Amino acid sequence: MLVFDKKAELTEYLTQQRQTGKLIGFVPTMGALHQGHLSLIEASLSQTDLTVCSIFVNPTQFNNPQDLEKYPRTLEKDRELLEKAGCQVLFCPGQQEMYPNVSYTNFSFGLLETVMEGYFRPGHFHGVGLVVSKLFHIVQPNLAFFGQKDLQQCRIIEQLAKDLFFNVSVVVVPTMREADGLAMSSRNVRLQPGERKEAAILYKVLQESANRLLAGEGVQEIKKAAERTLTNTTTGVRLEYFCIADGGTLQPVKDVQQHKQLALCVAGYVGEVRLIDNLLLEL
Protein backbone atom coordinates (compact mmCIF):
# COMPACT_ATOMS: atom_id res chain seq x y z
CA MET A 1 0.00 0.00 0.00
CA LEU A 2 1.34 3.39 -1.00
CA VAL A 3 1.07 6.16 1.61
CA PHE A 4 0.94 9.86 0.76
CA ASP A 5 0.72 12.89 3.03
CA LYS A 6 1.14 15.57 0.35
CA LYS A 7 -1.72 16.30 -2.02
CA ALA A 8 0.57 17.23 -4.93
CA GLU A 9 2.34 13.85 -4.79
CA LEU A 10 -0.94 11.96 -4.55
CA THR A 11 -2.42 13.92 -7.45
CA GLU A 12 0.63 13.19 -9.63
CA TYR A 13 0.43 9.47 -8.88
CA LEU A 14 -3.31 9.26 -9.51
CA THR A 15 -2.98 11.20 -12.77
CA GLN A 16 -0.56 8.57 -14.00
CA GLN A 17 -2.92 5.77 -12.96
CA ARG A 18 -5.88 7.47 -14.59
CA GLN A 19 -3.97 7.75 -17.86
CA THR A 20 -3.68 3.97 -17.96
CA GLY A 21 -7.48 3.73 -17.84
CA LYS A 22 -7.83 2.72 -14.20
CA LEU A 23 -11.14 3.34 -12.46
CA ILE A 24 -10.50 5.03 -9.11
CA GLY A 25 -12.54 4.38 -5.97
CA PHE A 26 -12.36 6.61 -2.92
CA VAL A 27 -13.21 6.03 0.75
CA PRO A 28 -12.82 9.20 2.86
CA THR A 29 -12.59 8.55 6.62
CA MET A 30 -11.52 10.17 9.86
CA GLY A 31 -9.68 7.05 10.95
CA ALA A 32 -10.33 4.87 14.00
CA LEU A 33 -11.31 2.28 11.43
CA HIS A 34 -13.62 -0.66 12.07
CA GLN A 35 -15.36 -3.32 9.98
CA GLY A 36 -17.86 -0.76 8.74
CA HIS A 37 -15.07 1.22 7.10
CA LEU A 38 -13.54 -1.96 5.74
CA SER A 39 -16.85 -2.84 4.10
CA LEU A 40 -16.50 0.41 2.14
CA ILE A 41 -12.98 -0.62 1.12
CA GLU A 42 -14.31 -4.02 0.04
CA ALA A 43 -17.07 -2.37 -2.01
CA SER A 44 -14.52 -0.14 -3.73
CA LEU A 45 -12.16 -3.02 -4.44
CA SER A 46 -14.99 -4.95 -6.07
CA GLN A 47 -16.13 -2.07 -8.29
CA THR A 48 -12.93 -0.19 -9.20
CA ASP A 49 -9.32 -0.82 -10.23
CA LEU A 50 -7.62 1.32 -7.61
CA THR A 51 -8.88 2.10 -4.11
CA VAL A 52 -7.81 5.25 -2.26
CA CYS A 53 -8.61 5.74 1.42
CA SER A 54 -8.07 9.03 3.23
CA ILE A 55 -7.65 9.51 6.96
CA PHE A 56 -8.10 13.06 8.18
CA VAL A 57 -9.83 14.22 11.36
CA ASN A 58 -11.53 17.27 9.90
CA PRO A 59 -11.76 20.09 12.46
CA THR A 60 -14.33 22.16 10.56
CA GLN A 61 -17.12 19.60 11.00
CA PHE A 62 -16.91 19.50 14.78
CA ASN A 63 -19.11 22.07 16.48
CA ASN A 64 -18.03 20.71 19.87
CA PRO A 65 -14.29 21.21 20.56
CA GLN A 66 -14.34 18.47 23.22
CA ASP A 67 -15.73 16.02 20.68
CA LEU A 68 -12.85 16.85 18.34
CA GLU A 69 -10.32 16.43 21.13
CA LYS A 70 -11.74 13.06 22.20
CA TYR A 71 -12.11 11.65 18.70
CA PRO A 72 -9.98 8.45 18.62
CA ARG A 73 -6.78 8.58 16.56
CA THR A 74 -5.26 5.19 15.74
CA LEU A 75 -3.23 5.77 12.58
CA GLU A 76 -0.79 2.86 12.88
CA LYS A 77 -3.56 0.36 13.55
CA ASP A 78 -5.58 1.89 10.71
CA ARG A 79 -2.69 1.46 8.28
CA GLU A 80 -2.39 -2.21 9.21
CA LEU A 81 -6.12 -2.79 8.74
CA LEU A 82 -6.14 -1.07 5.35
CA GLU A 83 -3.12 -2.96 4.10
CA LYS A 84 -4.62 -6.27 5.21
CA ALA A 85 -7.91 -5.36 3.49
CA GLY A 86 -6.11 -4.77 0.19
CA CYS A 87 -6.38 -0.99 -0.02
CA GLN A 88 -3.81 0.25 -2.54
CA VAL A 89 -3.40 3.91 -1.56
CA LEU A 90 -3.65 5.81 1.75
CA PHE A 91 -3.78 9.60 1.93
CA CYS A 92 -3.19 10.92 5.45
CA PRO A 93 -2.55 14.69 5.25
CA GLY A 94 -1.88 16.98 8.18
CA GLN A 95 -4.08 19.95 8.98
CA GLN A 96 -1.69 22.41 7.30
CA GLU A 97 -1.91 20.40 4.09
CA MET A 98 -5.71 20.51 4.03
CA TYR A 99 -6.18 24.00 5.50
CA PRO A 100 -3.10 26.06 4.59
CA ASN A 101 -5.18 29.24 4.78
CA VAL A 102 -8.27 30.44 6.60
CA SER A 103 -11.33 29.24 4.65
CA TYR A 104 -13.98 31.83 3.86
CA THR A 105 -16.16 29.65 1.64
CA ASN A 106 -19.41 28.71 3.33
CA PHE A 107 -21.60 25.76 2.34
CA SER A 108 -25.34 25.73 2.83
CA PHE A 109 -27.50 22.75 1.87
CA GLY A 110 -30.95 24.26 2.33
CA LEU A 111 -33.68 22.03 3.70
CA LEU A 112 -31.31 19.05 3.77
CA GLU A 113 -29.46 20.55 6.72
CA THR A 114 -32.31 22.12 8.66
CA VAL A 115 -33.33 18.82 10.24
CA MET A 116 -31.75 16.15 12.43
CA GLU A 117 -27.94 16.40 12.43
CA GLY A 118 -27.98 19.81 10.78
CA TYR A 119 -30.37 21.15 13.42
CA PHE A 120 -28.53 19.74 16.41
CA ARG A 121 -25.02 20.31 15.05
CA PRO A 122 -25.09 23.75 13.37
CA GLY A 123 -22.18 24.21 10.97
CA HIS A 124 -21.43 20.50 10.83
CA PHE A 125 -22.40 20.01 7.20
CA HIS A 126 -20.56 23.13 6.12
CA GLY A 127 -17.42 21.42 7.41
CA VAL A 128 -18.35 18.16 5.70
CA GLY A 129 -19.00 19.94 2.39
CA LEU A 130 -15.75 21.86 2.64
CA VAL A 131 -13.47 18.90 3.31
CA VAL A 132 -15.22 16.53 0.89
CA SER A 133 -14.95 19.15 -1.87
CA LYS A 134 -11.22 19.44 -1.20
CA LEU A 135 -10.79 15.67 -1.20
CA PHE A 136 -12.82 15.20 -4.39
CA HIS A 137 -10.65 17.79 -6.13
CA ILE A 138 -7.46 16.09 -4.94
CA VAL A 139 -8.45 12.46 -5.65
CA GLN A 140 -10.87 12.98 -8.57
CA PRO A 141 -12.44 9.55 -8.02
CA ASN A 142 -14.86 7.82 -10.34
CA LEU A 143 -16.76 6.36 -7.41
CA ALA A 144 -16.84 7.48 -3.76
CA PHE A 145 -18.12 5.17 -1.02
CA PHE A 146 -19.97 6.27 2.13
CA GLY A 147 -21.73 4.36 4.88
CA GLN A 148 -25.50 4.52 5.30
CA LYS A 149 -25.11 5.05 9.06
CA ASP A 150 -24.42 8.70 8.22
CA LEU A 151 -27.47 8.90 5.96
CA GLN A 152 -27.91 12.66 6.11
CA GLN A 153 -24.24 13.08 5.24
CA CYS A 154 -24.75 10.77 2.24
CA ARG A 155 -27.65 12.87 0.98
CA ILE A 156 -25.62 16.06 1.52
CA ILE A 157 -22.68 14.68 -0.47
CA GLU A 158 -24.96 13.46 -3.25
CA GLN A 159 -26.31 17.01 -3.51
CA LEU A 160 -22.79 18.46 -3.36
CA ALA A 161 -21.60 16.28 -6.24
CA LYS A 162 -24.66 17.19 -8.28
CA ASP A 163 -24.50 20.94 -7.64
CA LEU A 164 -20.75 21.33 -8.21
CA PHE A 165 -20.56 18.97 -11.22
CA PHE A 166 -18.13 16.57 -9.56
CA ASN A 167 -17.69 13.73 -12.01
CA VAL A 168 -18.15 11.12 -9.29
CA SER A 169 -20.82 8.55 -8.45
CA VAL A 170 -21.66 8.45 -4.75
CA VAL A 171 -22.19 4.87 -3.56
CA VAL A 172 -24.06 4.36 -0.27
CA VAL A 173 -23.07 1.10 1.45
CA PRO A 174 -25.43 -0.51 4.00
CA THR A 175 -24.58 -0.08 7.69
CA MET A 176 -22.46 -2.77 9.31
CA ARG A 177 -23.75 -3.85 12.71
CA GLU A 178 -22.61 -5.66 15.82
CA ALA A 179 -24.32 -8.91 16.78
CA ASP A 180 -26.91 -7.04 18.89
CA GLY A 181 -27.66 -4.60 16.09
CA LEU A 182 -25.63 -1.60 17.26
CA ALA A 183 -24.32 0.31 14.25
CA MET A 184 -20.54 0.11 14.02
CA SER A 185 -18.99 3.48 14.82
CA SER A 186 -15.60 4.83 15.79
CA ARG A 187 -17.31 6.32 18.84
CA ASN A 188 -18.38 2.92 20.19
CA VAL A 189 -14.94 2.34 21.73
CA ARG A 190 -15.68 5.20 24.14
CA LEU A 191 -18.71 3.41 25.61
CA GLN A 192 -18.34 1.84 29.03
CA PRO A 193 -19.40 -1.86 29.22
CA GLY A 194 -22.81 -1.06 30.73
CA GLU A 195 -23.38 1.75 28.24
CA ARG A 196 -22.44 -0.55 25.38
CA LYS A 197 -25.33 -2.87 26.31
CA GLU A 198 -27.75 0.04 26.66
CA ALA A 199 -26.81 1.40 23.22
CA ALA A 200 -28.45 -1.57 21.48
CA ILE A 201 -31.88 -0.06 22.24
CA LEU A 202 -31.42 2.44 19.40
CA TYR A 203 -31.60 -0.14 16.63
CA LYS A 204 -34.24 -2.15 18.46
CA VAL A 205 -36.56 0.86 18.47
CA LEU A 206 -35.85 1.51 14.78
CA GLN A 207 -36.82 -2.08 13.94
CA GLU A 208 -39.96 -1.99 16.07
CA SER A 209 -41.02 1.30 14.51
CA ALA A 210 -40.45 -0.02 10.99
CA ASN A 211 -42.59 -3.09 11.71
CA ARG A 212 -45.38 -0.90 13.05
CA LEU A 213 -45.24 1.31 9.96
CA LEU A 214 -45.53 -1.73 7.71
CA ALA A 215 -48.48 -2.88 9.80
CA GLY A 216 -50.29 0.35 8.98
CA GLU A 217 -49.98 2.32 12.21
CA GLY A 218 -49.85 6.11 12.01
CA VAL A 219 -46.60 8.07 11.88
CA GLN A 220 -47.33 10.26 14.90
CA GLU A 221 -48.38 7.33 17.09
CA ILE A 222 -45.22 5.41 16.20
CA LYS A 223 -43.02 8.46 16.75
CA LYS A 224 -44.53 9.12 20.19
CA ALA A 225 -44.12 5.46 21.19
CA ALA A 226 -40.47 5.45 20.11
CA GLU A 227 -39.78 8.66 22.02
CA ARG A 228 -41.46 7.25 25.14
CA THR A 229 -39.26 4.17 24.99
CA LEU A 230 -36.05 6.10 24.37
CA THR A 231 -36.72 8.73 27.06
CA ASN A 232 -37.52 6.10 29.68
CA THR A 233 -34.91 6.60 32.41
CA THR A 234 -34.11 2.88 32.44
CA THR A 235 -32.75 2.91 28.86
CA GLY A 236 -29.72 5.09 29.64
CA VAL A 237 -30.32 7.14 26.49
CA ARG A 238 -30.60 10.95 26.38
CA LEU A 239 -32.61 11.31 23.20
CA GLU A 240 -31.99 14.19 20.81
CA TYR A 241 -34.35 13.15 18.06
CA PHE A 242 -36.35 10.32 16.57
CA CYS A 243 -37.58 11.18 13.09
CA ILE A 244 -39.61 9.46 10.38
CA ALA A 245 -38.64 11.21 7.16
CA ASP A 246 -38.68 10.89 3.41
CA GLY A 247 -35.72 8.74 2.36
CA GLY A 248 -34.53 11.29 -0.22
CA THR A 249 -35.32 14.75 1.12
CA LEU A 250 -35.12 13.74 4.81
CA GLN A 251 -38.06 16.00 5.57
CA PRO A 252 -40.50 14.71 8.24
CA VAL A 253 -43.49 12.84 6.84
CA LYS A 254 -47.12 12.81 7.92
CA ASP A 255 -48.68 10.41 5.42
CA VAL A 256 -46.59 7.41 4.38
CA GLN A 257 -48.75 6.86 1.30
CA GLN A 258 -47.10 9.83 -0.40
CA HIS A 259 -43.58 8.40 -0.15
CA LYS A 260 -41.72 5.54 -1.82
CA GLN A 261 -38.98 5.30 0.80
CA LEU A 262 -38.88 6.27 4.46
CA ALA A 263 -35.88 6.96 6.67
CA LEU A 264 -36.25 6.24 10.37
CA CYS A 265 -33.49 8.20 12.09
CA VAL A 266 -32.39 8.47 15.70
CA ALA A 267 -29.69 10.29 17.68
CA GLY A 268 -28.91 10.41 21.36
CA TYR A 269 -26.29 10.23 24.04
CA VAL A 270 -25.38 7.04 25.85
CA GLY A 271 -23.21 8.24 28.69
CA GLU A 272 -21.04 10.95 27.14
CA VAL A 273 -21.04 9.37 23.68
CA ARG A 274 -23.35 10.67 20.97
CA LEU A 275 -24.63 7.92 18.67
CA ILE A 276 -26.74 8.03 15.51
CA ASP A 277 -28.47 5.34 13.51
CA ASN A 278 -31.10 4.94 10.81
CA LEU A 279 -33.14 2.40 8.93
CA LEU A 280 -34.37 2.77 5.34
CA LEU A 281 -37.80 1.35 4.60
CA GLU A 282 -39.07 0.73 1.05
CA LEU A 283 -42.83 1.12 0.62
- Delineate the domains of the chain, giving CATH numbers in brackets: 2-173 (3.40.50.620), 186-278 (3.30.1300.10)
Query: Is 37 a known active-site residue?
Result: yes
**Sheet of strand 89-91: strand arrangement:** 2-4, 89-91, 50-55, 24-29, 143-147, 169-173
pTM for this entry: 0.96
User: Tens digit of pLDDT per residue, the chain (283 long)?
Assistant: 999 999 999 999 999 999 999 999 999 999 999 999 999 999 999 999 999 999 999 999 998 888 888 888 999 999 999 999 999 999 999 999 999 999 999 999 999 999 999 999 999 999 999 999 999 999 999 999 999 999 999 999 999 999 999 999 999 999 999 999 999 999 999 999 999 999 999 999 999 999 999 999 999 999 999 999 999 878 889 999 999 999 999 999 998 888 999 999 999 999 999 999 999 999 8
Percent helix, strand, coil in the chain (nearest 5)? Answer: 45, 20, 30
Catalytically annotated residue among 34, 37, 124, 137: 37
- What is the C-alpha to C-alpha distance for residues 118 and 5, in angstroms, rounded to an integer? 31
**Buried (b) or exposed (e) across 95-110, using 16+ Cβ within 10 A?**
eebbbeeeeeeebebe
